[in-house]
Amino acid sequence: MTTIGVLGLQGAFREHVRSVEATGAKALVVKRIEQLKEIDGLIIPGGESTTIRRLIDKYEFLEPIRDFGKSGNPIFGTCAGLILLASEIDGSYDVHLGVMDIKVRRNAFGRQRESFEADLDIEGVAEGFNAVFIRAPYIEGVGENTKVLARYDGHIVAAQEGHYLACSFHPELTDDHRLTEHFVEMVEEAKKTLAL
Amino acid sequence: MAQTGTDRVKRGMAEMQKGGVIMDVVNAEQAKIAEEAGAVAVMALERVPADIRAAGGVARMADPTIVEEVMNAVSIPVMAKARIGHITEARVLEAMGVDYIDESEVLTPADEIYHIKKDDYTVPFVCGCRNLGEATRRIREGASMLRTKGEPGTGNIVEAVSHMRQVQSQIRHLRGLSEDEVMVYAKENGAPFDLLMEIREEGRLPVVNFAAGGIATPADASLMMQLGADGVFVGSGIFKSNNPEKFARAIVEATTHYDDYKLIGELSKGLGTAMKGMEMSTLTPEQRMQDRSQ
């Protein structure tokens, strides 16, 4: 059985667990480094990226998560999770995990009153996907190996680079589990490859 | 077409704060300390509740200069308080771009009967509640997030515990009721019937419920999380202690790992003096902020 870990330091991790379980995979809330051994893929949820980063540092998660990804295990970052995966962040902010070749802008659509929901087409994954953007970042630029999956108003809001997946909206807040399913499929594929 | 201010966007914002600590601050410097310590949001105020208590008189919305100063200092969300029923204070805060408004009993109510009709706003609201009746009335008025009222500015957790337990216990009770019984329960508690039916079905409130009003130590934060709080507001507790940086960090960690008692023991070592605190029986009825709204 495929087990998807959801980083449970802060944020909407229970919603991701619900979404993973709806796809038929097993979900595990990851609060300790040792738990990374028990999972096949990791979701880094939405929350406050500054807060999650402080807790990642506090519990020395940074290197273990990087290693987890480097060994070929898929990682999916949503909203704050996307910021944590990015190799470049606008302004003076420190890069966090930096495993994905994307440049992001934080709070790019504005403050909470500018937060919105809109229907998107996610290439090869879903058409008419109801995406919820909350103080969301967007991707300003991607590397040559990064595939753009969705745009909103001209801005990149979902992308994939090999076994790394990121989106600036919250797929866990609706009952549309197609993007989570796509990630679970990525994890199942990676599992087969890693088993060889 | 993009839609702003939907329930999903407003309630979703509060979902992102789960497992986190929201700290009261009165200036940019405190806001930075809070952000640095890992707060998920700050509440910009002119005075923390303990000082509002001490000052007496009418407590109003903070000076917009303070709110702006805090908004410019941090990248985490900024909340601010409006008086209960004060439509204009809330509209002013919304126009300023505040991320969340607390329609709060900590300030002197502007309206002793009616709360703000919060679903008219694009900005989300948090409100206090002591029981399921208050919780559901606030949700129907448009609150996207709830918190216990507790007894603010006392550093005494006893009321927050009672309010969190009361809501949880009423939800459990509700789950066992038949549909005809729910109607009577709705009448007795002044709660909207359809919303009770929804809560009975789901087994939980449709919005997050944080703990607030009297949290003074890491152990208090952990206690509230164990009782089912989705996160924690700390008002006077941090900046009324004698080592705010350390206190703030310890409360954040105790909230994340609320069931790790060894860690909480470590966190509680040498923290210095917590705020002094007040015993409930020393409060006169007029001093009880929680009774300012129903």
Q: Pick from A111, A80, A85, A112: which is nearest to A98 by CA?
A: A85
- Chain B's closest residue to A32, CA to CA, is B257
Buried b (16+ CB within 10 A) or exposed e, A37-53: eebbbbbbbbbbbbbbb
Selecting from A10, A13, A107 the residue whose C-beta is nearest the C-beta of B40 gives A10
The H-assigned helical ranges of chain B are: 7-15, 28-37, 49-55, 64-73, 87-96, 132-141, 158-175, 179-189, 193-202, 218-226, 236-239, 244-256, 261-268
Report whether B278 contacts B157 (CB < 8 A): no
Average pLDDT, chain A: 95
Question: What is the nearest CA distance from B55 to chain A, expressed in angstroms?
Answer: 32
The answer to the question of residue B254 being in a domain is yes
The distance in angstroms from the start CA to the end CA of chain A is 17
SS3 for chain A is CCEEEEECCCCCHHHHHHHHHHCCCEEEEECCHHHHHHCCEEEECCCCHHHHHHHHHHCCCHHHHHHHHHCCCCEEEECHHHHHHEEEECCCCCCCCCCEEEEEECCCCCCHHHCEEEEEEECCCEEEEEEEECCCCEEEEECCCCEEEEEECCEEEEEEECCEEEECCCHHHCCCCHHHHHHHHHHHHHHHHHHC
For the segment A14-43, what is each residue's pLDDT rounded down to a tens digit? 999 999 999 999 999 999 999 999 999 999
Angle of the B132-141 helix axis to the B158-175 helix axis, nearest 10? 80
The answer to the question of residue B126 being in a domain is yes
Written as six digits, the tokens of A127 are 């058409």
The answer to the question of residue B287 being in a domain is no
Written as six digits, the tokens of B277 are 């605190």
- Chain A's closest residue to B17, CA to CA, is A11
Which positions of B make up the binding site for D-glyceraldehyde 3-phosphate? 165
Our count of domains for chain B comes to 1
- Chain B's closest residue to A120, CA to CA, is B1
pLDDT at A120 over 70: yes
Classify the C-alpha dihedral B152-B52-B125-B32 as positive or negative: negative
Inter-chain CB proximity B99 and A9 less than 8 Å = no
Report yes or no: A35 at the B interface, CB cutoff 8 Å.
no
CA–CA separation, A15 and A22 (whole Å): 11
Report whether B90 contacts B116 (CB < 8 A): yes
The answer to the question of residue B218 being in a domain is yes
Burial of B277 (0-12, 13-18, 19+ CB in 10 A): middle
Inter-chain CB proximity B16 and A79 less than 8 Å = yes
For the segment A28-87, what is each residue's pLDDT rounded down to a tens digit? 999 999 999 999 999 999 999 888 988 898 889 999 999 999 999 999 999 999 999 999
Inter-chain CB proximity A106 and B99 less than 8 Å = no
Which pLDDT tens digits describe chain B residue by residue (294 residues)? 789 999 999 999 999 999 999 999 999 999 999 999 999 999 999 988 889 888 888 999 999 999 999 999 999 999 999 999 999 999 999 999 999 999 999 999 999 999 999 999 999 999 999 999 999 999 999 999 999 999 998 989 999 999 999 999 999 999 999 999 999 999 999 999 999 999 999 999 999 999 999 999 999 999 999 999 999 999 888 988 888 999 999 999 999 999 999 999 999 998 887 777 888 888 888 888 998 888
Inter-chain CB proximity B76 and A48 less than 8 Å = yes
- Chain B's closest residue to A46, CA to CA, is B16
Inter-chain CB proximity B16 and A80 less than 8 Å = yes
The answer to the question of residue B285 being in a domain is no
State mean pLDDT over A92-112. 90
Buried b (16+ CB within 10 A) or exposed e, B59-85: bebbebebbbbbbebbebbbbbbbbbb
State the amino acid at position A106 in one-letter form.
R
CB pairs under 8 A between A and B: 116
| Edge-to-edge order in the sheet of strand B3-4 | A126-133, A116-122, B3-4
Strand partners, B23: B42, B234
Told to judge if A79 belongs to the known catalytic residues of this protein, a careful annotator would answer: yes
Inter-chain CB proximity A170 and B12 less than 8 Å = yes
| Edge-to-edge order in the sheet of strand B100-104 | B208-210, B145-148, B125-129, B100-104, B78-83, B41-44, B21-25, B232-234
Predicted pLDDT of residue B129: 97
Distances (CA, A) of B31 to A150, B22, B38, B73, B245: 35, 11, 11, 7, 11
Distances (CA, A) of A152 to A72, A92, A101, A129: 29, 25, 20, 12
CA–CA separation, B292 and A34 (whole Å): 48
For the segment A126-159, what is each residue's pLDDT rounded down to a tens digit? 999 999 999 999 999 999 999 999 999 999 999 9
Written as six digits, the tokens of B225 are 């999380």
DSSP B213: S
Per the structure, the complete domain to which residue B87 belongs is given by: 8-268
Burial of A178 (0-12, 13-18, 19+ CB in 10 A): middle
The CATH number that applies at residue B84 is 3.20.20.70
Predicted pLDDT of residue A92: 60
The answer to the question of residue B46 being in a domain is yes
The answer to the question of residue B291 being in a domain is no
Predicted pLDDT of residue A93: 65
Selecting from B4, B38, B99 the residue whose C-beta is nearest the C-beta of A54 gives B38
Q: Pick from A75, A63, A100, A69: which is nearest to A7 by CA?
A: A75
Predicted pLDDT of residue B293: 87
